[in-house]
Amino acid sequence: MILPTDIHAHHEPPMPGMAIVNADPQSFSPREGGWYSVGIHPWLVKEGITDAQWQALEHLITDEKRIVAVGETGLDKLAAAPLPLQEAAFVRQAQFAEAAGKPLVIHLVRAADELLRWKRELRPSVPWIIHGFRGKEVQADLWIRHGFYLSFGVRHQEAALRAVPSDRLLLETDENEAAAIGGLYRQAARIRQVAEARLMETVKDNVAKVFFKR
List of residues contacting Zn ion (CB under 5 A):
174
Nearer to Zn ion, 31 or 41 (CB): 41
Q: How far is the CB of 132 from Zn ion (least distance, A)?
A: 6
Q: How far is the CB of 137 from Zn ion (least distance, A)?
A: 23
Nearer to Zn ion, 41 or 163 (CB): 41
Using CA atoms of 48, 89, 73, 64 in order, give the dihedral in degrees to the nearest 10. Answer: -90
Nearer to Zn ion, 45 or 192 (CB): 45
Nearest CA to 168 out of 137, 213, 128 is that of 128
Q: How far is the CB of 13 from Zn ion (least distance, A)?
A: 15
Residue nearest to Zn ion (CB): 174
Q: How far is the CB of 110 from Zn ion (least distance, A)?
A: 17
How many Cα atoms sit within 13 Å of 81 on the Cβ side? 21
CB 58 within 8 A of CB 96: yes
Beta strands in 5-111 (DSSP E): 6-9, 19-23, 35-38, 67-76, 104-109
Using CA atoms of 112, 88, 122, 62 in order, give the dihedral in degrees to the nearest 10. Answer: -120
Q: How far is the CB of 194 from Zn ion (least distance, A)?
A: 26
Local structure of 130: helix, strand or coil? strand
Nearer to Zn ion, 17 or 153 (CB): 153
Nearer to Zn ion, 6 or 174 (CB): 174
